[in-house]
A = this chain, B = another copy of it.
Amino acid sequence: MSKYRVLIAANDEKGIVYKVSTVFFNYALNMLSNNEFVDKENNKFFMRSVVDGDVNPDELQKSLNDVLPKGSSIEVIEPKKKNIIIMATKEMHALGDILIRHEAGELEANILAVVSNYDKLESLVSKFNIPYITVSHENLERVEHESKIIECIDSFKDVDYIVLAKYMRILTPRFVEAYEDKIINIHHSFLPAFIGANPYKQAYDRGVKIIGATAHFVNNNLDEGPIISQEIIHVNHAYGWKDMQRSGKDVEKIVLSRALKLALEDRIFVYANKTVIF
Interface on A for B, CB 8 Å cutoff? Answer: 14-15, 17-18, 21-22, 24-25, 28-41, 91-93, 96-97, 99-101, 103-104, 106, 124, 127-128, 190-194, 206-210, 212, 226-232, 234, 236-238, 240, 246, 250, 254, 257-258, 272-277
If over half of A's interface residues share one DSSP class (helix, strand or loop), that class is named, otherwise mixed; here it is mixed
CA–CA, A21 and B275, complex, Å:
26
Give 9 nearest A-B pairs by CB, closest first: A207-B274, A96-B100, A127-B127, A18-B25, A193-B193, A18-B21, A92-B104, A237-B276, A209-B230
Report A274 CB to chain B, min CB distance, Å.
3
Alpha-carbon separation in the docked complex, A33 to B258 (Å): 26
- Report the Cα distance A38→B254, complex, angstroms: 28
- A246 — nearest CB in chain B belongs to which residue? B106
**With A and B bound together, what is the CA distance between A234 and B96 in angstroms?**
25
Q: Contacting A34 at CB < 8 Å: which of B17, B41, B275? A: B17
> Please, which residue of chain B has its CB at the minimum distance from the CB of A33?
B38
Bound CA span A124–B100, Å: 9
Residues of chain B with a CB closer than 8 A to A237's CB: 37, 39, 274-277
State whether A206 touches B192 (Cβ < 8 A). Answer: yes
Complex contacts, A96 vs chain B, CB 8 Å: 96, 100, 103-104
Contact call B38/A32, Cβ cutoff below 8 A: yes
| Contact among B14, B32, B229, B236 for A277, CB-based, below 8 A | B236
Contact flag A206-B193 (CB < 8 Å), given A24-B18, A104-B92: no
**Chain B residues, CB < 8 A from A99:** 100
Of the residues B92, B194, B238, B257, contact of A103 by C-beta under 8 Å? B92
Question: Once the chains are docked, how many angstroms separate the CA of A100 from the CA of B121?
Answer: 12
Task: Provide a sorted-by-A list of 27 A–B residue pairs whose CB atoms are within 8 angstroms.
Answer: A14-B28, A14-B30, A15-B25, A17-B21, A17-B34, A18-B21, A21-B21, A21-B22, A22-B22, A31-B38, A32-B40, A35-B35, A93-B100, A96-B100, A99-B100, A100-B124, A106-B246, A127-B128, A191-B206, A207-B274, A207-B275, A208-B227, A208-B230, A232-B232, A237-B275, A237-B276, A250-B258
- Nearest CB in chain B: distance from A49 CB, A: 9
Measured CA separation A207–B190 after assembly (Å)? 12
